[in-house]
Amino acid sequence: MSVQRKGVPAVAPRFSDLAGDQPAWMDSILKGDCVAALERLPKNSVDLVFADPPYNLQLGGDLLRPDQSKVDACDDHWDQFASFEAYDAFTRAWLMAVRRVLKPDGGIWVIGSYHNIFRVGSILQDLGFWILNDVVWLKSNPMPNFRGKRFTNAHETLIWASPSKDAKYTFNYEALKTFNDDLQMRSDWHLPLCTGAERLKDAEGQKVHPTQKPESLLYRVLLSSSKPGDVVLDPFFGTGTTGAVAKKLGRHFVGVEREQAYIDAATARIAEVEPAAPASLSVTKGKRAAPRVPFGNLLEAGLLHPGATLTCPKGKFKASVRADGSLASGEHTGSIHKVGALLQGQDACNGWTYWHIEQNGAKVPIDALRQIFRLRRPAA
Amino acid sequence: MSVQRKGVPAVAPRFSDLAGDQPAWMDSILKGDCVAALERLPKNSVDLVFADPPYNLQLGGDLLRPDQSKVDACDDHWDQFASFEAYDAFTRAWLMAVRRVLKPDGGIWVIGSYHNIFRVGSILQDLGFWILNDVVWLKSNPMPNFRGKRFTNAHETLIWASPSKDAKYTFNYEALKTFNDDLQMRSDWHLPLCTGAERLKDAEGQKVHPTQKPESLLYRVLLSSSKPGDVVLDPFFGTGTTGAVAKKLGRHFVGVEREQAYIDAATARIAEVEPAAPASLSVTKGKRAAPRVPFGNLLEAGLLHPGATLTCPKGKFKASVRADGSLASGEHTGSIHKVGALLQGQDACNGWTYWHIEQNGAKVPIDALRQIFRLRRPAA
DNA sequence: TTTTGGAGTGAATCCCTCG
DNA sequence: TCGAGGGATTCACTCCAAA
């Protein structure tokens, strides 16, 4: 596949099926230096950042394979820094620029290797970002260590952070759990490198970008920590993996990139992406997203009657329902939660799952009645 | 097992079967602050350092499990620091003290989590240490994320470094390769937590140390980067896992520890260690069943797309695939297994064999896609 | 003697809305 | 802004008691 399309504008065409009026920078690639280009975005305009900054690889001479063929190392000039101080200054600058455009309840991901990730992590913390997780991308097919002098470097590290300690960041917990066969998603992600047809090649068959990330990685990043319609910024856009996956998943993107060749490749690539149907983008949500149902509503709706008797799971405690939706059990009165907690001598209790009622000879948690109520009266 | 042995001296008896004339500090535990105690060691006297410094966790209030029981947090005073600056100063001080006693061709390992490891890594680099690898310890049985607000924190990070860029460090490449079924040892190590009989308990059955590391981890560290007879320093000795494994593997140890209770426990523990031929590796080589493949992986890998339609064997039920790997069929949403069970009115259902997709005019169970996935990505 | 079920636990930066 | 209160939230493994 050739990506050398002459005359493609630096700003990719917006895809129109997502929204009506959009600022000019939406779903486009800004050409230029990261810090300068970000000044063209308004403050608090971005929901999520994914950044794959230069790794500051400090390679000595050429690396040879056992058969003496040369390893195609990442020795591009943009990856060279004179010192740790220079790299730190660069990192601080782009992180501060990103911070300005990131919403207070947004999120940021940065990927790196041991060459740079410790600098990035420290500076994130120094700037007041709050680390939520570090995630390790385990490569199922890493490059072996040809000289046998170290362990095979089989992973990279991602840092997920919010702009401040008390930010209300997005995390699609239930969706990720469903994704992972009903088990919590862990901080270790086993994914293959970007190879084969997914890897962009130029007319000569050479890879267009030395560190193109797999779409599977971005899929998981965007699915976990953004919502459909969100704006995702990638300040080191490269060949646009972030943009391609964002478009596929119904998110907006903004990219910043200095090299025209990468911009051309990314623009062509993203144009070919088919967005998923909006309906398939809705994602499993937990109980927290369901509308709150006051217990008293069950009485109003006739699903329960004043005077009904509730029991705890083991039948040890009983309580009777009062007309105002409170419970009475001996001396204790109060909400379903409070009475449950008091009887058990605990600080808290989820009354919906604790209290049961007998129906057709079986004990059913009152949460089942709540579900019936919600079905009868959707979006109450 | 009780480790409360009164009258045990702070300095453990040397074990005499390793060498003849030894300095007094060899195979002993130095009591006191790390920096001060290290002044008692000569310059260039240590071959390898393993350090498990405080992580500076910065925990908030109590954390309760879903069953309302309290998580036994690591809230010891030694893990409290006023600020990142204070933690950095502490880190710089002990690393400089360690650097003095470490031989120019020695090595150092430091373990940490995202709370502290970025500070440690940056300071290592600033002090001129040369990072050789970062290694991730993947926990097979981590503590879950009880509130569902983040990814399960399922790993810790180790940094392996030499004192300078051109150090001739020790790396037993062939030994590790043999250890690892004739494959290069990778930078991801899958090991269980320290639990069961290995975990030191006091007379009341409480764990002696909140963060005791598994011997399997130290086994791999010492096997890979030290030689028999080497001196291994652990400046945060705790209950002496480093010393126990060093003795087992025929290495000398020096520990530094402030708390007398830990010193007592470690001394008793190490006294019971039999220096043995390494035949006890079986714990780290758990047999590999067919790797579990979450349904979501098929989406990431592009074998299925959001919006695809699945059907049951008889074509009676249809469901559409959503971006998070859940299915939607009428009112029902959830995992492939859950939705299959709901539609059939059963308690359980194997979604892999139940759901089919049309390919080239034929209905194929999605299990076929899973097999393709496994072939493409062995040992995911 | 063997199997089954329940309780316990591990370095954790772990809620959110409303008045 | 703060406090009160509703109510949501767990995986792998070990040990011990019970069957």
Q: List all nucleotides in chain D with at least one atom under 7 A from a protein Cβ.
A: 5-15
Assess whether A335 (CB) lies less than 7 A from strand D: yes
Residue contact B118–A138, C-beta within 8 A: no
Nearest to A284 among B135, B145, B333 (CB): B333
- E-strand ranges in chain A read 28-31, 46-51, 102-112, 130-139, 155-162, 188-191, 231-234, 252-257, 309-311, 318-321, 327-329, 332-334, 356-359, 362-365
Question: Tell me: the pLDDT tens digits for B239-248?
Answer: 999 999 999 9
Which chain A residues contact residue B331 at CB under 8 A?
A: 375
Assess whether A149 (CB) lies less than 7 A from strand D: no
CA distance A197 to chain B (A): 11
Nearest to A140 among B152, B338, B377 (CB): B377
The interface residues of chain A toward chain B in range 64-83, judged by CB-CB distance below 8 A, are: none
Residue among A279, A301, A159 at smallest CA distance from B321: A279
Tell me what the mean pLDDT of segment A155-180 comes to. 97
- Angle formed at CA A21 by CA A16 and CA A25, multiple of 5 degrees: 80
What mean pLDDT is reported for chain B?
A: 89
Assess whether B315 (CB) lies less than 7 A from strand D: no
For residue B251, give the 3-state DSSP assignment. coil
Percent with pLDDT over 70 in chain A: 88
DSSP 8-state secondary structure symbol assigned to residue A239: T
A242's enclosing H/E stretch is: helix A241-248
Query: What does residue A197 show for φ and ψ, rounded to 5 degrees?
Result: -65, -30
Nearest to B118 among A125, A173, A277 (CB): A125
Q: Residue B377's pLDDT is what? A: 65
Joined together, the tokens standing for residue A111 give: 């990927």
- pLDDT of A354 > 70? The answer is yes
Q: Residue B72's pLDDT is what? A: 96
For residue A262, give the 3-state DSSP assignment. helix
Calpha distance B227→A135 (Å, rounded): 33
DSSP 8-state secondary structure symbol assigned to residue B66: T
Longest dimension (CA), chain A: 86
pTM (two decimals) = 0.89
Contact A270/A244 with Cβ under 8 angstroms? yes
Q: Residue B199's pLDDT is what? A: 97
Which chain A residues contact residue B323 at CB under 8 A?
A: 175, 223, 249, 276, 280-281, 283
For residue A215, give the 3-state DSSP assignment. helix
- E-strand ranges in chain B read 28-31, 46-51, 102-112, 130-139, 155-162, 188-191, 231-234, 252-257, 309-311, 318-321, 327-329, 332-334, 356-359, 362-365
Contact B79/B56 with Cβ under 8 angstroms? yes
- Give the lowest-confidence range in A105-114, B39-48, B125-134, B348-357: B348-357
Say which residue the tokens 């899958």 belong to.
Answer: B190
Q: Residue A69's pLDDT is what? A: 63
Calpha distance A189→A169 (Å, rounded): 21
Q: Does B171 contact A at CB distance below 8 Å?
A: yes
Residue contact B326–A181, C-beta within 8 A: no
b/e code B249-284 from CB counts within 10 Å (16+ = b):
bbbbbbbbbeeeebbbbbbbbbeebeeeeeeeeeeb
Q: B28-31 and B252-257 as β-strands: parallel, antiparallel, unpaired? A: parallel
Assess whether B197 (CB) lies less than 7 A from strand D: yes
Tell me what the mean pLDDT of segment B11-17 comes to. 46
Counting Cα atoms < 13 Å in the Cβ hemisphere of A240 gives 33
> Across-strand partners of B365?
B356
DSSP 8-state secondary structure symbol assigned to residue B235: S
Q: B356-359 and B332-334 as β-strands: parallel, antiparallel, unpaired? A: unpaired
Joined together, the tokens standing for residue B185 give: 């040892």
Tell me what the mean pLDDT of segment B33-61 comes to. 97
- pLDDT of B10 > 50? The answer is no
Tell me what the mean pLDDT of segment B203-213 comes to. 95
Sign of CA dihedral B334, B340, B345, B347: negative
Q: B332-334 and A155-162 as β-strands: parallel, antiparallel, unpaired? A: unpaired
The interface residues of chain B toward chain A in range 266-295, judged by CB-CB distance below 8 A, are: 292, 294-295
Distance in Å from D10's C1' to B126's CA comes to: 40
What domains can you pick out in chain A, each with its CATH number? 28-280 (3.40.50.150), 295-376 (no CATH)
Calpha distance A19→B202 (Å, rounded): 63
Sign of CA dihedral A177, A179, A181, A185: negative
Tell me what the mean pLDDT of segment A50-74 comes to. 67
Question: Where does residue B340 rank: exposed (0-12), middle (13-18), buried (19+ CB within 10 A)?
Answer: buried
Contact B268/B8 with Cβ under 8 angstroms? yes
Q: Which residue is nearest to nucleotide D8 (CA to C1')?
A: A288
Q: Which residue is nearest to nucleotide D11 (CA to C1')?
A: B144
Specify the amino acid at residue A243.
G
CA distance A95 to chain B (A): 16
A43-57, A168-182, B293-307 — which one is most confidently predicted on average? A168-182
Q: A231-234 and A46-51 as β-strands: parallel, antiparallel, unpaired? A: parallel
Q: Residue A143's pLDDT is what? A: 93
Question: Tell me: the pLDDT tens digits for A261-306?
Answer: 999 999 999 999 999 999 999 999 999 999 999 999 999 999 999 9
- pLDDT of A30 > 80? The answer is yes
DSSP string of A142-175, one letter each residue:
PPP-TTSSS-B--EEEEEEEESSTT------HHH
- Angle formed at CA A198 by CA A50 and CA A3, multiple of 5 degrees: 90
Which chain B residues contact residue A284 at CB under 8 A?
A: 322, 324, 326, 333-334
b/e code A184-216 from CB counts within 10 Å (16+ = b):
bbbbbbbbbbbeeebebeeeeeeebbebbbbbb
Q: Residue A6's pLDDT is what? A: 36
Distance in Å from C10's C1' to A41's CA comes to: 45
Q: Which residues contact A209 (CB under 8 A, 6 or more apart)?
A: A200, A238, A239, A262, A265
CA distance A330 to chain B (A): 24
- Indicate the pLDDT class of residue B275, thresholds 50, 70 and 90: confident
CA distances to A325, A331, A341, A344 from A363, in Å: 20, 24, 20, 19
Does residue B13 or residue A72 have the better pLDDT? A72
Q: List all nucleotides in chain C with at least one atom under 7 A from a protein Cβ.
A: 8-17
Question: Tell me: the pLDDT tens digits for A33-58?
Answer: 999 999 999 999 999 999 999 987 65
Residue contact A121–B120, C-beta within 8 A: no
Percent with pLDDT over 70 in chain B: 90
